Amino acid sequence: MKAKTDIIVVGTGASGLFYALNIPPNKAILMVTKRAVDESDSYLAQGGICVLRDADDYDSFFEDTLKAGHYENDRASVDVMIRSSPEIIRDLIDLGVEFEKKNGQLVYTREGAHSKARILYHEDLTGAEITSKLLAAVKKRPNITIIENMAMVDLITQDNHCSGIVASDGTGAIHLYHSDYVVLATGGLGGLFDSSTNLAHLTGDAIAIALKRQIEVENISYIQIHPTTLYSQKPGRRFLISESVRGEGAVLYNRKMQRFVDELLPRDLLTKAIHQQMEQDQSDFVWLSMQDMGRELIIHRFPNIFRHCLEEGYDITSECIPVTPAQHYFMGGIKVDLDSRTSMEHLYAIGEISCNRVHGANRLASNSLLESLVFAKRAAKNTQNHYKTAEILKATLDLDDYKDLEQLKTDYKTVILDEIERSKVIARIDKA
């Protein structure tokens, strides 16, 4: 490994991979990831990716995003995301991504809080389809090196300037990687919660590091709970029952098998209604029925959900399944501008770990993959346009501080959860 590389990207989800692909091949990129290269939430995305279908849909797409976000969204971010969406979909198709088609035409679906069908999908495996194609393209690039099972544990910084990362390979060995730029693409923080749809290793490490290094964060108490995950008494990740299931006609029942809510409400409102119903029913779940959609549509459209539920003992074509809310998405994060620049020089943040306030207080379904890709591409353009090489900073770090990875994980978790609580209190005071 060279003493210094041009750009370090931390994370190999959709945002990190797309950033790397949008950097010209004359720059050397090092990608590090905490687990295997395909262990990211991007692979898990089921429902789809939003796109502006035509100019007539702009106002409605904009309003749906703002309404779901309780009008706390940054309007400029929303505008950029929506206007860039057709270009991003073209990029994906050029990279070989296959979206559902009928008679040669793209098919669009609808999910909760969308007033129109504007979501492209690939079965119920849209994330795996997109991310595997991005990864295949990255692997063809000789300028990009990927190191797996390497966790960033700190940033190398001096005078509000970032020049690399400190990383642990889990054996106790600590590695210093120097670069001109660092891009944080580390995803969400569901791993901090007992019940989450996220992969357990996504623990928001970059937030703890940002707090330690005085990098600005924003809205970090804005955490989305998904209304429908498959209820299970087993520990571990919760399996998501995508919103698109309800978009295609699935309904929710209470204990008496009566419908109790509009299934297409925004996620936070539906979650609230389900929690109220569970309390009334004194139950840990409500029922979801897909039966009226018909066996053929279920198996063709939701093969992954069908298979998984069958493995758990439920045949969704003929019986209801128990569902319950679980942590799902992080709307807050490291504060960034429209080009994904953080408050620290030479440091970008993209994807779920970043916060440009595009989602406001609650994310609209299927806007996340889109946002990750749009702002990753803008970050890559900004890096190219303003590229400045940097000296290797003399890091004054005590490497012994990083040797006990388990202790570090506990410390980072405490720092983040405390900050989330603190920011909730501040939000309450501000609103009072």
Ligand X SMILES: Cc1cc2nc3c(=O)[nH]c(=O)nc-3n(C[C@H](O)[C@H](O)[C@H](O)COP(=O)(O)OP(=O)(O)OC[C@H]3O[C@@H](n4cnc5c(N)ncnc54)[C@H](O)[C@@H]3O)c2cc1C
Binding site for ligand X (CB under 6 A): 10-16, 32-35, 39-42, 44-49, 126-127, 151-152, 185-187, 197-198, 201-202, 205, 240, 329, 351-352, 366-369, 372
Distances from the Cα of 406 to the Cα of 8, 89, 156, 172, 410, angstroms: 24, 41, 21, 11, 6
Q: SS3 of 216, please? A: coil
Catalytic residue among 53, 110, 237, 267: 267
Minimum distance of ligand X from residue 253's CB (angstroms)? 23
Toward ligand X, which CB reaches closer, 62 or 412? 412
Rounded to whole angstroms, how far apart are CA atoms 365 and 68? 9
Minimum distance of ligand X from residue 237's CB (angstroms)? 8
Minimum distance of ligand X from residue 312's CB (angstroms)? 15
Toward ligand X, which CB reaches closer, 188 or 260? 188
Minimum distance of ligand X from residue 255's CB (angstroms)? 27
| Distant-in-sequence contacts of 143-147, Cβ < 8 A, 24+ apart | 143/23, 143/25, 143/26, 143/27, 143/28, 143/29, 144/20, 144/29, 144/31, 145/5, 145/28, 145/29, 145/30, 145/31, 146/12, 146/31, 146/32, 146/33, 146/37, 147/30, 147/31, 147/32, 147/33
| Nearest partner of 185 among 14, 326, 382, 37, judged by Cα | 14
Minimum distance of ligand X from residue 198's CB (angstroms)? 5
Minimum distance of ligand X from residue 303's CB (angstroms)? 15
Rounded to whole angstroms, how far apart are CA atoms 131 and 368? 13
| Nearest partner of 240 among 169, 190, 296, judged by Cα | 190
Toward ligand X, which CB reaches closer, 21 or 202? 202
Which residues are registered as beta bridge partners of 321?
288
Toward ligand X, which CB reaches closer, 232 or 283? 232
Contact 366, 117 (CB under 8 A): no
Number of other CB atoms surrounding residue 82 within 10 Å: 23
Q: Which runs of E-coded beta strand occur in 198-294?
A: 217-218, 223-230, 251-253, 286-289
Altogether, the residues listed in the chain come to a count of: 432
Residue 249 burial (10 A CB sphere; 0-12, 13-18, 19+): middle
Minimum distance of ligand X from residue 73's CB (angstroms)? 16
DSSP designation for 297: H
Minimum distance of ligand X from residue 262's CB (angstroms)? 20
Residue listed under structure tokens 């969308």: 114
Rounded to whole angstroms, how far apart are CA atoms 353 and 340? 11
The verdict on whether 267 is a catalytic residue reads: yes
Toward ligand X, which CB reaches closer, 35 or 381? 35
Rounded to whole angstroms, how far apart are CA atoms 134 and 371? 16
Buried b (16+ CB within 10 A) or exposed e, 35-49: bebebbbbbbbbbbb
Toward ligand X, which CB reaches closer, 261 or 305? 305
Question: Pairing state of beta strands 354-355 and 217-218?
Answer: unpaired
Toward ligand X, which CB reaches closer, 209 or 320? 209
Toward ligand X, which CB reaches closer, 260 or 316? 316
Active site residues: 267
